[in-house]
A and B are shown apart, each in its own frame.
Chain A
Amino acid sequence: MAMGKSMRETFRSLSAAEFFYRNREIAGFSNPSRALYQTVRELVENALDACDSHEILPSLYIGIKLVNPQKSFYKVTVSDNGIGIPPHYVPYAFGKVLFGSKYKLRQTRGMFGLGAKMAILYGQLTTGKPVEVETTPLGSRYRYYFKIMVDIKRNEPIILERKMRRLKKKSHGTAISVVVEGDWSRAKNKIYEYIKRTAIAIPYASITFVPPDSSEATVYKRVTNKMPPPPKEVKPHPHGIDIEMLKMLISVTEASTLKEFLAESFQGVGPITAEKFLRDIGFDPNMSPHSLTAKGIKALTSELKKYNGFKPPRADALSPLGEDLIIAGLKRVLNPEFVTAVTRKPSAYLGHPFIVEVGIAYGGKIPSTEEPQLYRFANKIPLLYDEKADVSWKIVSNAIDWKAYGAEFPAPLVIFVHICSTKVPYKGVGKESIADVPEIEKEIKNAIREAARKLRTYIFRKRKEEELKKKTIVYVKYIPEIASSLAVLSKPSNTEINGGGLTVKELEKMLLNLVREKLQKLGASINVESLRRSIKIR
């Protein structure tokens, strides 16, 4: 919000569209390969938000088509079954920068809702093609179609075409197509990886991806109908305040006293706490907030950040996935033999609530690698770049002794780390790695250890079982020879007497029973018959 305020001030002199175009590296559009990836990512995240925040199980279609091979123009289409956009908002939602629905303090995928617009701008500037939007708002029976371009200097939408048609069946959702200059061969791996990781984080979404170079679609079917509860909007916590934000809050407040202002504008602060706090720091609780001087605001900000008498930040604004969904997601994409997840209790850094979630998947279809495979997520968005700079990598690669947890490299080990927060502390402007905030680092470490303990139990139990199976095989593999020998030896030596003795089959059965009983005593159940069937004598 502080950013919003300061940006708005900047944009008075510089068109917002122009500003973003000039700073496109920040938004991730630095080259055609990265831009294609970023376009997919922004459109997908917008689509997921349109479903998630209204508790609609998302069904996503992502298509990339090569529309101009000479110029490497790709048409990226993402359609969702979200709440749709009221038709009169469409031109502004897509044709004017800084218009959107994400200006509240709660956990959403992108804070500013700008990413999709950045993709539109990038497309328009590299290809000259307009964005195409089709949408059906919730409850509407019409499909609205728009072709829009952005007037960059004036930051106004230009509507090239608009249509509507009546739908035969009830539906809702939005489809957006942007033509961008891209580089599929270079972006390919990242895009596939992005979709795969999104499929892990959002197991309640079904995702279909049609790439430009093959007719085969990648399909992730929905594996659960359970969704995390949507995040609630909350007031800022005094510990997370800065001068700009405080100024902004004062500018919009209707409170007549400072005490009232604090109690109404912040979470964790009631009238009594507010009064006590203000008296403690030597402020008059009954003064008007508007009469604060610049110096007073500065002093109040630092006191608000320091004071220990407030309730800790609430986590209502957060929407963690929960252990079940993490497990479902890891299972559906990775097919591991073991999976576990841990969702930690809410915690806070500098007044920002956050929750750390960790999943561990092991074995099965996961390939063995020399290092742990780290899947990072922030507010359900996969982070693909700058892995080695991330606080999670530091922990996974250094702080945890995986050998102690039974994983010896090369190992088929995937670590899933999700941080959800109203303010994710990214490192740098790329928003691809998370900074070493001590509170977060500690939570991640504890979460990984907690999950890794379950992994250890599993691996050690499995090792024990393997050891037992190894033993069992030693016995079972000799049973055919032993049974056939005993069958011969069991017949009386006087060949004139026929009959007597036991058959090979009878003896094998008795011997297998013996082995089974021995295993039962050890508390193991191994199918000795099927082991026997796999043995041949030549």
Chain B
Amino acid sequence: MSGQLYYDVDYKQRLEAAETLHRTFVEIIEQIKRKENPTLIFPKRTLSNTIYDEERKLLLLGPKKQKRKFLDVNEARKFMQTLLMAKIIYEALINNEYPTIRDLYYRGKHSIIYYDHKGRRREENTWDEQKESDAIIRDIEVLTGLLREDMLILSKEKGKLVGKIKLKSGGDVIDASKMGHGAYALEPTPDLIEILDVDADFVLVVEKDAVFQQLHRYRFWEKRRALLITSAGQPDRATRRFVKRLNEECGLPVYVLTDADPYGWYIYSVFKIGSITLSYESEKLATPKARFLGVSMTDIFGERDNKGRIIKQP
């Protein structure tokens, strides 16, 4: 019964995503029928089109649009890649599959064998590296307004959670305080998680898995009534989304603990205001109210002395 329920939640999501894709590309077919140059129009995902919204304190996608045309020598390849990726995602949705982004990369990787203008035999891959197909997936997200998760595309999960919280995922009820020395691995579709019950005062997000393990075995979460989460390095989308839900749905304050280096600060900024590559998702992923807990240089070395030197030996 619970399996059926879980299927139903997915099924609705599937139909919606598939319908959106279908509608988007039927428009391309209409353009072809009208003998127009088939053109995909979507927001530009570039640094120059990423803006920081002072008011909402988020990195957002700007208003610039990009046109990807079939009959444009510089765009034709990407146009083909976009359609190919859309097709694979569409097929996966219809066939009740949960592909990962790596799956999609492999499914779409073909060799096109052709003869160039001088009659030489050439081979070209639809895409060479996963970086290329990943970028196309992001293009489809902005093109359709559907997020990866909405299209039931999975990625390798990295985020972990322990603490007094009960969740419902895939029809099962999970108690994250009864995971032993392990932890609950945050699933790639965090919006399909139902939060049943929370008994905590705040959320502590730690960058390092090693720190997480330490705090977990010390049972920090129990002693301080905290939900302990790690992103194990650069945070993935699911971790960010779930942290935001805890902050906004459950009203829990979020503190971020990172290494005392630029990467640490960057990870904090990604949790707080979003990233450039995924700026179109900031509204869903960023937690503007997150606070920086540390570690800072002064935590280690103390305040600057009046001569401007950093170091003051303890």
Which positions in A face B, CB cutoff 8 Å? 466, 469-471, 473-478, 480-482, 484-486, 488-495, 502, 507, 510-511, 513-515, 517-518, 531, 534-538
Contacts and interface: CB of A to CB of B under 8 A. Distances in A.
B21 A517 contact: no
Contacts of B77: 474, 478
A537 B110 contact: yes
Q: Chain B, interface size: which category? A: 35 or more
A495 to B, nearest CB: 6
Interface string B1-37: 0000000000000010011011001101100110101
Closest 8 CB pairs of A and B: A493-B18, A485-B87, A478-B80, A485-B83, A489-B25, A470-B117, A469-B117, A477-B114
A502 B30 CA distance: 11
Contacts of A490: 22, 25-26, 29
Interface of B: 15, 18-19, 21-22, 25-26, 28-29, 32-33, 35, 37-38, 70-71, 73, 76-77, 79-80, 83-84, 86-87, 90-91, 93-94, 110-118, 124, 126
A8 B244 CA distance: 117
Nearest to A488: B87
B29 A486 contact: yes
Given A495-B94, A515-B71, A538-B111, A502 B29 contact: yes
The binding surface of chain A is classed by DSSP as helix
A485 B70 CA distance: 14
Given A485-B87, A507-B32, A535-B112, 9 more contacts: A477-B114, A481-B80, A486-B29, A488-B90, A489-B25, A489-B87, A510-B33, A514-B37, A537-B111
The binding surface of chain B is classed by DSSP as helix
Contact of A474 (B15, B73, B83, B94): B73
A454 B11 CA distance: 69
Contacts of A493: 15, 18-19, 21-22, 90, 93-94
Contacts of A470: 116-117
A482 B85 CA distance: 10
Given A489-B22, A490-B26, A484 B87 contact: yes
A475 B239 CA distance: 41
A474 B25 CA distance: 21
Contacts of B18: 493
B240 to A, nearest CB: 29
22 contacts: A473-B114, A477-B112, A477-B114, A478-B70, A478-B77, A478-B112, A481-B83, A481-B110, A482-B70, A482-B84, A485-B83, A485-B84, A485-B87, A486-B25, A486-B32, A486-B87, A489-B26, A489-B83, A490-B22, A493-B18, A514-B38, A517-B35
B35 A514 contact: yes
Contacts of B80: 478, 481-482, 485
Contacts of A484: 87
Contacts of A510: 32-33
B84 A537 contact: no
A482 B83 contact: yes
A427 to B, nearest CB: 42
Given A469-B117, A488-B87, A534-B115, A475 B76 contact: yes
A470 B87 CA distance: 27
B126 A481 contact: yes
A413 to B, nearest CB: 18
Given A471-B73, A489-B26, A507-B29, A481 B117 contact: no
Contacts of A477: 112, 114, 124
A510 B114 CA distance: 20
Name which of A486, A502, A507, A536 has the most chain B CB atoms within 10 A of its CB. Answer: A486
A198 to B, nearest CB: 34
Contact of A514 (B19, B71, B110, B116): B71
B84 A481 contact: yes
Contacts of B116: 470, 473
A155 to B, nearest CB: 64
Contacts of B93: 493
A493 B114 CA distance: 33
A538 B113 contact: yes
Contacts of B33: 510
B71 A486 contact: no
A327 to B, nearest CB: 26
A514 B36 CA distance: 8
Contacts of A531: 115
A453 to B, nearest CB: 25
Given A486-B29, A493-B94, A537-B111, A475 B71 contact: yes
A478 B80 CA distance: 6
A537 B93 CA distance: 24
Contacts of A486: 25, 28-29, 32, 83, 87
B113 A536 contact: yes
A489 B25 CA distance: 6
Contacts of B110: 481, 537-538
Contacts of B83: 481-482, 485-486, 489
A132 B110 CA distance: 74
A466 B117 CA distance: 6
A518 B29 CA distance: 17
B25 A478 contact: no
A37 B112 CA distance: 55
Contacts of A474: 73, 76-77
Given A485-B83, A493-B19, A473 B117 contact: yes
